[in-house]
Every structure is written in structure tokens, then in C-alpha cells.
Structure 1
Amino acid sequence: MSREADGAVIGFLAGLAVAMGGAIKDAPYEGFKEKTFWRSPLIGAFWGSVLARKYGLKPVPLFLSTIGLERATVEVYKLYRAMVKKDYIPGKFIHGEWGVPVK
């Protein structure tokens, strides 16, 4: 396989790890959302291929770097979405941090 394809696979796995961690942490309180679950592996695959092509990183640094870029991308997107939508309330403010209901 090419460097980009290898990077995409490693990035997908990094995003999958992030998605599974988020599902374990948030699903009991917010419910499981398949659309947002698959967002992280897809963004991870994108960043993994970009990093592999541009920098030729080895697997472990590529995996960890992809996690950082995936998190930054998703959090900036969520911030943008919160600023654009008037009635958008992030899930943690509806359900409370760590499952403690907000009054």
C-alpha cells in the first residue's frame, strides 16, 4: 500500500479509539449517536493520510498526532456550530457533567 493509504488506516484506527472512548464516557448519559461516532474515524483517516504523506511519520507518532488533530478539528467544529446555531446547547450542558443533571 502507499504511504497515504497506510496513514489513512492508522488514522482511522486512531479515530476509532477516540470514538469508542467517547461512546463509553458519554453514551450512558447522552445516548449513542451513530453519526457522531463515525465522525472521529473518518476525520482521523483524513488527518492520518495527510500526516503520512507530508511528514512520513512512523506508526506510533502518526497514531498519537492523528488523535490530537482529530480532537482539535472536532472541538473547533463544535465551537463553530454552537456560535452559528441560536438554539444549540451542547450535550454536557443538557445532561450535566458526569451525568449530574443540570437544573
Structure 2
Amino acid sequence: MDGQDSGDNKQSTADMTQFVQTLLQQMQNRFQTMSDSIVQKIDEMGDRINELEQSINDLRTDMGVEGSPSPLSTSKKAVEANIEPKTEEGSA
């Protein structure tokens, strides 16, 4: 009976190995799908921010405020210079 038990153990081990490999593949596929979805949403958000910035610049141009820098470009310059942008008291 030891030979039969050994054969059953080998089959059980092979089944478990196949189950774990299948489970890991499913998890990897789900992770990849979620990752792709997140990257797509981030890209869409970046596009929307760019459109918003362009709309703000267009409005500023229409209002004749071309000369003053946008708050976004001021913040970028401050970050590049390692300086905190100045904010008014009471604003968060």
C-alpha cells in the first residue's frame, strides 16, 4: 500500500502545484488589469489638467492679464528653487 500512497501523494502535490500556479496567474492578470486602469486614469487626469490650464490661460488672455504669471507656473518656479510659495493668511 505504500506504493499507492506515494502515487497519491505525488498526484496530490502535482494538483496543488497546478492550483497554485493557476491562482498566481489569475492574481497577476488582475493586478495587471488594475495597474493598466490606474495608469489610464492618471493619463486622463493629466490631460484634463492640461486642458484646464489652457482654458485658464485663454481666459486670462481674453481678460488682458497676459503679463502676470499663472499661479501654477509661479508654484513650479518656487519648487524648482526650493522655495515655498507665499500664500495669503487664511488660505489653505
Q: Calculate the TM-score normalised by the size of structure 2.
A: 0.35
Look at both structures and tell me which one has the larger radius of gyration over its CA atoms: 2
Q: Relative contact order, CA 8 A, sep 6+: which one is greater?
A: 1
Q: Calculate the TM-score normalised by the size of structure 1.
A: 0.32
